[in-house]
């Protein structure tokens, strides 16, 4: 599809998704962006994509949902239902692909942008970035998977604090709370994100996908169920190229060359 709210570039196993709403400096998440994120998540599931970066153009990463568009909708319930459904399908797609997803948060992540950042596998933030839920300030409840991820990252009481009070976290506080993996100077955000994504892209992509899926059920399934998942996952790696190749390289004291399959 033709993208109007973002850009997608795929090269050398690395997909870069850049939020860019030329008509909205906050890169507010509207219905079109939700649809495009879903389309991008499908394209990033291709076997030649081994890592994904999500970033944005401008001073803000994503300021949240496009409230003006929501207000203008004739049927607000139908509008939000469609928009959230598409957004959630896209986020589910990113969670299910083997390729790790790196968020390069260049500026403020609020509302839906906050949720988007929380959904990543690895987060690098500018030291100028800020993080805020902001939903209840507009009389809304959270979407974009924040209620699924936030408590796992920061604990239940801190999650309630952020979602109920709309406390704004600096990048340093987000790092301390476990929302961000690394904080760097603004001009270094994309360099750091690319370095990490390239490292992932050179790794055992199927194994990374297995890790993502195993951790996804870490809080929901009992021990026996989780151990069964681990058994099937690690045994399944023997049907890939990278599992046996990694073992052979380790025993030969050589650096493994992973193909991502």
Tell me: the pLDDT tens digits for 196-211?
999 999 999 999 999 9
Name the domain count of the chain. 2
Residue 140 and residue 184 in one domain: yes
Is residue 124 very low, low, confident or very high in pLDDT (cuts 50, 70, 90)?
very high
Residue 227 and residue 152 in one domain: no
Residue 82 and residue 118 in one domain: yes
Q: DSSP secondary-structure letter at 65?
A: B
Residue 81 and residue 17 in one domain: yes
Structural domain contains residue 242 = yes
Q: Once rounded to an integer, what is the mean pLDDT over residues 138-165?
A: 97
Structural domain contains residue 256 = no
> Three-class SS of residue 27?
coil
Structural domain contains residue 112 = yes
Q: Compute the radius of gyration of the chain from its Cα atoms.
A: 19
Residue 165 and residue 211 in one domain: no
DSSP assignment of 146-202: HHHHHHHHH-HHHHHHHHHH-PPEEHHHHHHHTS-SEEE-GGGHHHHHHHHHHHHHT
Cβ contacts of 65 within 8 Å, gap of 6 or more: 28, 29, 30, 83, 111, 112, 140
Structural domain contains residue 125 = yes
Residue 141 and residue 214 in one domain: no
Residue 238 and residue 131 in one domain: no
Residue 87 and residue 152 in one domain: yes
Residue 145 and residue 215 in one domain: no
**Which CATH number covers residue 232?**
1.10.12
How many helices (H) and strands (E) the chain has is answered by 11, 10
Q: For 26, phi and psi rounded to 5 degrees?
A: -85, 0
Residue 187 and residue 210 in one domain: no
Domain ranges, residue 102: 6-201
Residue 145 and residue 211 in one domain: no
Nearest to 117 by CA among 52, 176, 55: 55
Structural domain contains residue 259 = no
Percent of the chain scoring above 90 in pLDDT: 99
Residue 151 and residue 189 in one domain: yes
**Which CATH number covers residue 137?**
3.90.226.10
Structural domain contains residue 1 = no
- pLDDT value at residue 34: 98
Q: What's the CA gap between 112 and 144, in Å, rounded?
A: 6
Q: What's the CA gap between 37 and 42, in Å, rounded?
A: 9
Is residue 19 very low, low, confident or very high in pLDDT (cuts 50, 70, 90)?
very high
Entry pTM: 0.95
Q: Once rounded to an integer, what is the mean pLDDT over residues 2-23?
A: 97
Structural domain contains residue 88 = yes
């Amino acid at each position: 599809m033709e993208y109007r709210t973002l850009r997608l570039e795929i090269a050398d196993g690395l997909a870069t998704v850049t939020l860019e709403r030329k008509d909205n400096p906050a890169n507010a998440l509207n219905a079109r962006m939700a649809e495009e994120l879903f389309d991008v998540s499908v394209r990033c599931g291709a076997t030649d994509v081994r890592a994904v970066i999500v970033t944005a153009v401008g001073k803000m990463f994503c300021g949240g949902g496009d409230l003006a568009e929501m207000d203008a909708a004739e049927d607000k319930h139908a509008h939000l239902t469609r928009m959230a459904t598409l957004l959630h399908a896209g986020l589910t797609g990113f969670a299910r692909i083997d390729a790790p997803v790196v968020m390069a948060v260049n500026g403020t992540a609020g509302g839906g942008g906050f949720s988007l950042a929380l959904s990543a596998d690895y987060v690098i933030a500018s030291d100028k970035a800020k993080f805020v839920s902001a939903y209840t300030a507009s009389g809304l409840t959270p979407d974009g998977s924040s209620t699924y991820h936030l408590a796992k990252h920061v604990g239940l009481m801190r999650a309630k604090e952020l979602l109920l009070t709309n406390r704004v976290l600096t990048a340093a506080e987000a790092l301390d709370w476990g929302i961000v993996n690394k904080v760097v100077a603004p001009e270094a955000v994309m360099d750091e994100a690319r370095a990490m994504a390239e490292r992932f892209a050179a790794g055992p992509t199927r194994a990374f996908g297995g890790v993502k899926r195993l951790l996804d059920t870490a809080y929901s399934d009992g021990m026996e169920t989780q151990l069964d998942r681990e058994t099937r996952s690690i045994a399944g790696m023997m049907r890939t190229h990278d599992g046996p190749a990694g073992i052979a390289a380790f025993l030969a004291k050589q650096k493994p060359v992973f193909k991502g399959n």
